[in-house]
Amino acid sequence: MLKRLLLIVIMMAFTFSYIDIANAKEKTNLKIASKAAVLVDSSSGQILYGKNPDKKLYPASLTKIATAIYAIENGNLDDMVTVSKAAEETDGTRVYLLEGERVTLKHLVQGLLINSGNDAGVAIADYLCGDVPTFAEKLNEFMVDKVGVSNTHFVNPHGLFDKNHYTTASDLAKITDYAIKNPTFREIFGTKELKWNGKGWHTTLITHHLMLKGEIPYPGITGGKTGYVDQSGQTLATTAQNNNIHLTVITMDAKTKKDEYQDTKQLLDYGFTHFKTSELPEDTMFKYGNKIFKTSEKLLYTSPLHASVSERISKNGVLEIVDKSGALLKSFQLSEQKVMAAQSAPSKKKTEKSKHNPWILMMPIILIGFGVFWSVKRIKNKKKG
C-alpha cells in the first residue's frame, strides 16, 4: 500500500513538472507580431505575458477607454450636452454630431466607444471641462491618482496623433481593468450594436471589434475597442472570460488587422489554457511565531491552472503566494492582530499553582507506572497458577 501511494505521488509530481515545462515552452513559442502586447488577469492585475509592456507608443482610439470611464465617473450620464462647433468639425471617425445638437452624456459615451466617434470625445471634453486642453489635464490627473498609470500622457480625448500623446500596453491594461469594474462602462464596452438617431445621422452603430461582433468567432469575448492612426499602427483592446479567469489583452502597433487579431487569439488561448484566478477570503488568519496576521479584504491572485500553490508569511506580515518551485506569484501586506494576554500565555495564578504543586504534574506518570506494575503482577500470578 505504501509503495502504491509513493508511486502515485511520483506520477503527480511528474505530471505537474511536465505541465510547467509545457507552459514555459508554449510561452516562449508565442509568435506575437505586434510591437507591444500584454496578457493580464483582469481581476488580480497580474501580467501573464508581456512583450515590450512598458514601451511608450501611440494608442490611437484606445484613448477612448480612458475618456469613457472618466466621463462616467465625473459626469451625470442623464445630462443633456450641447454639441459645440469644435466637436462637429473634429476629423476622423465620427457619429456626425451637429453644432447645437443636444445629446445625453451617456449617448455620447456610447458613440465614443461603439463607433469610435472622435466628435463625441470632443463634445464630452467640452461639456466636462470647457475645452480639450483642460480636459486632457484633468484626465491625466485621474489616470495617475485613480488608475495608477506611470507612463501615460494624453493631450486629447480621442487619440488622434500628437507626439506628446502616448501610453504603454501595461498602462492600457490597467486603464481597461479599472474601467470594466464599472457596470455602465462594462455594458457599453460589450455592446455589439446600438440604434443611433442623431440630428445628422440615423443608423445602427456596430462595434468595430471583429471578435466582439462575431466576425472572428471566439468564445467568451466580453468587450473590445479598436484603434488606428498611421503613426500608431493597429491597436486593440479585448476582454474575455471563462469559468476560471477573466482576461484582458492589449496589442499595440501591429502592421495589419490580421496580425492584431491573431496575436489576441494566441494570448487568450495561452491564458485560458494555463491560468485561473484564485482568492483568499476576507479575515483569513496566518500565524508567524506569536504574531497573528489577517486579510482585511478578499485577495485575488493568479495561479497555475494545473498545479498547486502554497502560502508563506514573514515576520513583518508579508504574505507570499509561491508555486511548487518556490517562485513568487504575488505578495500582500497583511495587518497584524493584537493577541490578548490571556490567550497567549497562562494566567499568573495558574503558573504559581503549578510551581508550588509539583505532585499535580507528576500524577499522570505515577498512575501510568502503577498500571504497568499491576499488569505485570497479574501476568506472573497467572503463570504460577
Q: What is the DSSP string of 219-265?
A: TTEEEEEEEEETTTEEEEEEEEE-SS-EEEEEEEEESSHHHHHHHHH
14 Cα distance to chain centroid: 30
In whole angstroms, how far apart are CA 288 and each of 120, 247, 264, 334?
A: 56, 34, 43, 12
pLDDT at 324: 85
Give dist(CA 25, CA 22) in Å, integer.
5
Length reported for the chain:
385
| Grid cell of 249 as nine digits | 489583452
Q: Where in the sequence of the chain do the CATH 3.40.710.10 domains occur?
A: 34-274
Closest residue by Cα to residue 301 from 41, 27, 38, 49? 41
**pLDDT tens-digit readout, 204-245:** 999 999 999 999 999 999 999 999 999 999 999 999 999 999
Beta partners for residue 322, in sequence order: 310, 328
Q: Is the pTM of this model over 0.85?
A: no
Place of cell 512583450: 51
Q: Which residues are catalytic?
A: 61, 64, 116
| β 221-229/233-241 pair status | antiparallel
Site of grid cell 462595434? 207
42-68 in b/e burial notation, b at 16+ Cβ within 10 A? bbbbbbbbbbbbeeebbbbbbbbbbbb
Matching CATH number, 34-274, of 3.30.479.10, 3.40.710.10, 3.30.1330.10, 3.40.50.150: 3.40.710.10
pLDDT in tens, 88-140: 999 999 999 999 999 999 999 999 999 999 999 999 999 999 999 999 999 99
